[in-house]
């Protein structure tokens, strides 16, 4: 018969072997099975059952070893969170273990699976209804599971050495389960990220609109990291030309503060934020891009990236610009209309009040133009009006506004002009209109009246009436 030191040494070796096998498990399922296999193969118990504690507090049998019948009966069963409370109240506390002797069990139906083995009459013999539990704890003291063992190999209630081995093993098992559970979470997160990346790549590459990612932080902020085929098709560049270049190199600001405003908008929240920008294509032409930009968080310690989606909105911007032009211009001559003249007058008046310098509003009326329509028809008259509009534009200074008020009446808004320059301007206008019109024998001339735009001016209509009155006075002087 072996002495106690020899028994202890043999037991420690067995514990070391089964603990090593248990710690080799990578996933949670592998670790749980290694725990129960270690109990049966290394610690001398015929049956081991592991109840894993679920997030809702309930216990589920995840692993069984030693008995095919026990595995079939118990595996996958779920018990309430308080399943062990009643038994532990009548249990003996063996260190960290809980032993429930069969004689303390209340009479009635037995819950669970009971091994079909002979009952011995010896005082320390193991009874089929005896139960020995080892609670399993994580490194921070959280209960992660309950290990139940049965049928000791010597068919006796475990002694001190056997209990100590089981308690040590249970401590290591709890730590191994905690580690494996964390490993499973990391693997699941990795799989989720890989699936997310795969989904993103499929969406990114297959999107009909242009997509690109840009570095948002660090020394490479603003550099293009990735583009899809649609982005290349829209912009005319190859991926090799775009990747690594700075997005701002292709963009044209509509005003000095546009880029900074967009940066501030992005920094204010995750987005998505809408934008419309002019972009320099590979062929040298500018197009309009419209789309969204959003900051994408790549996780802890990873720099954020900017995801942009674009479409070519040049046609829409051209249409808007054309509508805007029509809203402020005469459809026949392309000159400013009454609405745009009002807008320009308000700006000139504001600057006049700041500088104290005057401007002049000229009212031009064509003489004998009715004869053009009568003799050549309105189509020829329209061509003549367009020709006259071109002459007026040629003679005015840069920055002056030429507007058609209707029929054969025109207005010219000249900012900050002195008397000599005004006299010269009127003379040029009169001489230009006096020249023969293409294909027209009618001698068309113009009469011009003026009204000063001063810091005290308030109303465009009033100035037009003043200039119109001055024009009729000029017309009458010419007739007399």
At how many degrees (to 10) do helices 460-479 and 338-355 cross? 100
Count CB-CB contacts under 10 A for residue 246: 14
In a domain, 198, yes or no: no
Q: What is the pLDDT of residues 184-241, one digit of tens each?
A: 777 766 666 666 677 667 777 777 788 888 888 778 888 999 888 889 999 999 999 9
In a domain, 112, yes or no: yes
Q: Cα(360)–Cα(425) distance, rounded to whole angstroms? A: 11
Contact criterion met (CB below 8 Å) for 145 and 52: yes
Residue 102: both structure tokens together: 């069969």
The pTM assigned to this predicted structure is 0.46
> Which CATH number goes with the domain that contains 133?
3.30.450.40
Mean per-residue pLDDT for 46-51? 92
Q: What is the pLDDT of residues 169-199, one digit of tens each?
A: 888 888 888 888 877 777 766 666 666 677 6
Residues 6+ apart with CB under 8 A from 333: 385, 386, 389, 404
Q: Over 90: is that where the pLDDT of 464 sits?
A: yes
Claim to verify: residue 23 and residue 159 sit in the same structural domain = yes
Claim to verify: residue 355 and residue 412 sit in the same structural domain = yes
Q: What is the pLDDT of residues 113-154, one digit of tens each?
A: 888 888 888 888 999 898 999 999 988 889 999 999 999 988
- Structural domain boundaries, residue 239: 207-313
Claim to verify: residue 250 and residue 280 sit in the same structural domain = yes
Q: Over 50: is that where the pLDDT of 7 sits?
A: no
In a domain, 339, yes or no: yes
> Please, which pLDDT band fits residue 17 given cuts at 50, 70 and 90?
low
Residues 6+ apart with CB under 8 A from 194: none
pLDDT at 4: 47
Q: Over 70: is that where the pLDDT of 8 sits?
A: no
In a domain, 321, yes or no: no
Instruction: Annotate 348-363 with b (16+ C-beta within 10 A) or e (fewer).
Output: bbeebeeeeebbbbbb
Query: Structurally, how many domains does the chain consist of?
Result: 3
Mean per-residue pLDDT for 286-302? 78
Claim to verify: residue 110 and residue 179 sit in the same structural domain = yes
> Please, which pLDDT band fits residue 431 given cuts at 50, 70 and 90?
very high
Domain boundary among 279, 313, 347: 313
Q: What is the pLDDT of residues 340-370, one digit of tens each?
A: 999 999 989 888 888 888 899 999 999 999 9
β-strands 409-414, 273-280: how paired? unpaired
> Which CATH number goes with the domain that contains 374?
3.30.70.270
Claim to verify: residue 273 and residue 372 sit in the same structural domain = no
Claim to verify: residue 382 and residue 256 sit in the same structural domain = no
In a domain, 201, yes or no: no
Residue 254: both structure tokens together: 């509509």
> Please, which pLDDT band fits residue 41 given cuts at 50, 70 and 90?
confident
Claim to verify: residue 222 and residue 270 sit in the same structural domain = yes
Alpha carbon of 78 to those of 56, 72, 74, 384, 386: distances in Å? 11, 14, 9, 96, 91
pLDDT at 1: 42
pLDDT at 194: 64
């Amino acid at each position: 018969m072996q002495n106690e030191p020899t028994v202890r040494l043999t037991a420690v070796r067995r514990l070391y072997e089964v603990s090593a096998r248990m710690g080799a498990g990578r996933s949670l399922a592998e670790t749980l099975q290694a725990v129960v296999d270690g109990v049966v193969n290394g610690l001398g118990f015929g049956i081991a059952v592991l109840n894993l504690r679920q997030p809702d507090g309930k216990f589920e049998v995840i692993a069984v070893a030693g008995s095919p019948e026990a595995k079939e009966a118990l595996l996958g069963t779920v018990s309430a969170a308080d399943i062990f409370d009643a038994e532990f109240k009548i249990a003996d506390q063996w260190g960290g273990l809980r032993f429930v002797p069969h004689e303390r069990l209340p009479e009635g139906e037995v819950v669970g699976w009971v091994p079909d083995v002979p009952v011995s009459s010896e005082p320390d013999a193991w009874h089929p209804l005896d139960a020995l539990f080892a609670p399993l704890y994580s490194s921070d003291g959280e209960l992660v599971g309950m290990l139940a063992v049965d049928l000791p190999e010597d068919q006796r209630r475990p002694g001190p050495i056997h209990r100590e081995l089981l308690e040590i093993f249970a401590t290591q098992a709890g730590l191994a389960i905690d580690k494996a559970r964390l490993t499973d979470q990391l693997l699941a997160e990795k799989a989720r990220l890989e699936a997310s990346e795969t989904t993103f790549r499929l969406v990114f590459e297959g999107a009909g609109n242009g997509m690109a990612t840009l570095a948002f932080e660090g020394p490479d902020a603003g550099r293009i990291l990735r583009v899809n085929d649609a982005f290349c098709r829209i912009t005319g560049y190859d991926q090799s030309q775009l990747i690594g270049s700075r997005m701002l190199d292709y963009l044209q600001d509509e005003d000095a503060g546009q880029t900074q405003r967009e940066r501030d908008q992005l920094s204010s929240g995750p987005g998505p934020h809408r934008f419309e920008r002019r972009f320099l294509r590979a062929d040298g032409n500018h197009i309009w891009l419209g789309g969204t930009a959003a900051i994408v968080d790549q996780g802890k310690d990873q720099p954020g990236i900017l995801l942009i989606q674009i479409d070519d909105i040049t046609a829409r911007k051209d249409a808007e610009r054309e509508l805007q032009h029509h809203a402020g211009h005469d459809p026949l001559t392309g000159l400013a209309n009454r609405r745009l003249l009002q807008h320009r007058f308000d700006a000139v008046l504001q600057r006049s009040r700041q500088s104290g310098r005057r401007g002049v509003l000229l009212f031009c009326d064509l003489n004998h133009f009715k004869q053009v329509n009568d003799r050549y028809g309105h189509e020829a008259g329209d061509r003549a009006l367009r020709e006259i509009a071109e002459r007026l534009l040629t003679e005015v200074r840069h920055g002056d506004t030429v507007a058609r008020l209707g029929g054969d009446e025109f207005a010219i808004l000249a900012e900050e002009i002195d008397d000599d320059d005004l006299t010269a301007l009127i003379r040029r206008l009169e001489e230009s209109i006096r020249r023969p019109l293409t294909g027209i024998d009618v001698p068309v001339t113009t009469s011009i009246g003026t009204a000063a735009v001063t810091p005290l001016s308030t109303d465009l209509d009033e100035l037009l009436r003043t200039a119109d009155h001055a024009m009729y006075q000029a017309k009458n002087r010419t007739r007399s």
